[in-house]
Each structure stands twice: as structure tokens, then as C-alpha cells.
């Protein structure tokens, strides 16, 4: 029995020795993703080795000293619970990661900085209870259930044009959330409870791009003004729309945003059709005065709207 205990102790000592040897010259601990890999006590900064493309489930779960993590661009997935309950973790750089799974950063109560340019899928409760104040998600497609629930310091979220859906209670009790940027897509807001408890949410921006450029090209100034008013109306109604409570009423902010998206889509499609009618009439008139090739090559291109097609448009 004594020999067995000594062997066990020597095994632990050997693992710890190897772990201490995995330090870069600048003081960062290098993580290799090996089975049973031990993070030495007191390590505060971790750099993922270039051989690692997936950070395994529970790899750092419950570590109380790690403050910073840097991933190289070839890390594509962070599996479930990988950094859950890392209470000192405050900064994560994962620019190549595309998928973050269930509760990967849940209850990282000091986490304020996340850089994730290519992140596409944000799993259930991924960032629940984190200290994020703002986050930029230009590549996000799917935001799953409770992804940011109880991020009480979160004030600003910016999505890109790739966003497809935001799931149930995604921003539950984000009590400081004031502003969100989203694309103009019907069906993207999947439920009325997405912003439950977000009493300060008062401003929605549409992602720069298709809509703004199309409005700028509309033929008549009154159309442009009307569209700009239609876009801005959400920021007049949202501040007074109830946020609700998960125990009583789910609130109406998500519903108001969904209705607004549909009304903006309907209006821009109507104006595009009217613009096209005016353009066809102008082309027919010009063809009596100018050669057809000049009209087609030199005149019409200056009057055409951008070639974007909005949802619901034939």
C-alpha cells in the first residue's frame, strides 16, 4: 500500500513538473489540450498551443486564478463548460473560434473583454452571469437560449448582417442593456421573451448596409424622409415598452422590435416597386430622345437602386 501511495505521489509530482515546464518565456502558460493536463497553481495567463483546434469540455472548469486566455486563429470550437466558473477570468481572445458550446463561459463573473470576430454559434448560457459591458459579434448566426442571461453590466451588443436567430430568454435580466444593433430580417426575433427584464433597452440600430444604401437611392425625397422616420420610430416607442419579468409577464420589447422589422420591410419593398415604375416610365421617355444604348449604358445605371433583395420581395 505504501509503495502504491508513493507511486501515486510521484505521478502527481511528475505531472506538475511537466506543467511548470510548459511556460513561455514571457510568462504565459502554454496549454496543449492533452488528456489529464494539469494547470499549475497560481497560473494567471494561458496561451493555447498552435496544435489545438478544439478546447475540450471542462478543460479549465472552476479554475480560480486564470485571468487571461489567448487562442490562435486555428482554434475553432470551445466545448461545453470549458471555462465555466473561472471567477477571475477577465479577458479572452478567440478570433478564429466559430462555435462556443453550452455554458462555456457561464459564471465567469469577472469576464469583461471577449474578442471573437468569427464566432457564429453561441450556445445555451454561454456567457451567463459574465461582467461584459459590450460585445461585438459581426459573424454571429445563431444565439441560443439564455446565451447572455444575467449579464447585468452589458450595455451594448452589436451583431452583423449574418444573424439568423436569437433564442429564448437570450438576454434575460440584462438590466443595463441599452442598445442593440441587428440586421433587417423577419423571423430573427424568435420569441417575445428575448429581452425579458431589460428595462433600459431603448435603442435599436439596423446594421449598416443594404437598407441605408437603398434609402439613399430612392427617387423622391419624401420617400427617403418617410423611410428614415419609419426606421427611427422604434427608438421612440421602445423606451416606454414594458420589459416584463420571467415570473409574471414576458414583456413586449421583443414583440415591438419584430413588428417594427416587418413594417420597415413592407415599406421599403413598396417604395422599391414605386421607384421601379418611375424608372421604367423615364426610360421609355428617354428612348424617344436618345439612342437606346446610351439610355441603357449611361443613364439608367445612375437611377437604378442597389440590387439588394429584401425578405418578402419577389
Helix, strand, coil proportions of the chain in percent (round to 5)?
30, 15, 55
User: The domain that contains 67 carries what CATH number?
Assistant: 3.80.10.10
User: What pTM value is reported for the model?
Assistant: 0.85
Whether 291 maps to a domain, the answer reads no
Is residue 254 one of the residues assigned to a domain? no
**What average pLDDT does the chain have?**
87
Give yes or no for residue 238 having a pLDDT over 50: yes
Which pLDDT tens digit goes with each residue over 269-294? 999 899 888 777 766 565 555 555 55
pLDDT value at position 199? 94
- What is the per-residue pLDDT across 85-101, written as a single tens digit (0 to 9) for each? 999 999 999 999 999 99
Quote the pLDDT of residue 219: 80
Mean pLDDT along residues 216-235: 94
The answer to whether residue 42 is domain-embedded is: yes
190 part of a folded domain: yes
Q: In which band, very low, low, confident or very high, does the pLDDT at 259 lie, cut at 50, 70 and 90?
A: very high
Range of the domain at 75: 2-211
Residue 305 falls inside a structural domain:
no
Highest mean pLDDT among 174-178, 189-193, 248-252, 281-285: 174-178
Residue 299 located in a structural domain: no
Residue 21 lies in a domain: yes
Which tens digit of pLDDT belongs to each residue from 160-188?
999 999 999 999 999 999 999 999 999 99
Residue 102 belongs to a domain: yes
Q: Domain tally for the chain?
A: 1
Amino acid at each position: 500500500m505504501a509503495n502504491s501511495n508513493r507511486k501515486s505521489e510521484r505521478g502527481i509530482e511528475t505531472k506538475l513538473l511537466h506543467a511548470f515546464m510548459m511556460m513561455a518565456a514571457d510568462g504565459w502558460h502554454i496549454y496543449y489540450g492533452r488528456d489529464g493536463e494539469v494547470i499549475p497553481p497560481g497560473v494567471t495567463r494561458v496561451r493555447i498551443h498552435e496544435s489545438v483546434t478544439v478546447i475540450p469540455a471542462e478543460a479549465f472548469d472552476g479554475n480560480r486564478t486564470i485571468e487571461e486566455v489567448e487562442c490562435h486563429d486555428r482554434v475553432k470550437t470551445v466545448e461545453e463548460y470549458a471555462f465555466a466558473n473561472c471567477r477571475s477570468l477577465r479577458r479572452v481572445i478567440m478570433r478564429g473560434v466559430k462555435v462556443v458550446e453550452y455554458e462555456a463561459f457561464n459564471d465567469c463573473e469577472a469576464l469583461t473583454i471577449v474578442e471573437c470576430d468569427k464566432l457564429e454559434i453561441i450556445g445555451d448560457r454561454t456567457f451567463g452571469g459574465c461582467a461584459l459591458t459590450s460585445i461585438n459579434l459581426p459573424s454571429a448566426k445563431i444565439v441560443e437560449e439564455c446565451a447572455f442571461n444575467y449579464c447585468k453590466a452589458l450595455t451594448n451588443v452589436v451583431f452583423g448582417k449574418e444573424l439568423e436567430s436569437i433564442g429564448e430568454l437570450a438576454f434575460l435580466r440584462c438590466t443595463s442593456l441599452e442598445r442593440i444593433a441587428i440586421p433587417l430580417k423577419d423571423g430573427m426575433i424568435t420569441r417575445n421573451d428575448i429581452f425579458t427584464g431589460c428595462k433600459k433597452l431603448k435603442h435599436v440600430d439596423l446594421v449598416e448596409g443594404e437598407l441605408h444604401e437603398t434609402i439613399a437611392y430612392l427617387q423622391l425625397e419624401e420617400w427617403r424622409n418617410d423611410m428614415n422616420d419609419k426606421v427611427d420610430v422604434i427608438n421612440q416607442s421602445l423606451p416606454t415598452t414594458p420589459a416584463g419579468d420571467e415570473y409574471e409577464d414576458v414583456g413586449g420589447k421583443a414583440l415591438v422590435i419584430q413588428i417594427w422589422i416587418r413594417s420597415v420591410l413592407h415599406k421599403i419593398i413598396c417604395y422599391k416597386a414605386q421607384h421601379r415604375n418611375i424608372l421604367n416610365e423615364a426610360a421609355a421617355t428617354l428612348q424617344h430622345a436618345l439612342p437606346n444604348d446610351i439610355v441603357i449604358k449611361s443613364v439608367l445605371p445612375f437611377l437604378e437602386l442597389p440590387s439588394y433583395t429584401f425578405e418578402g420581395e419577389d
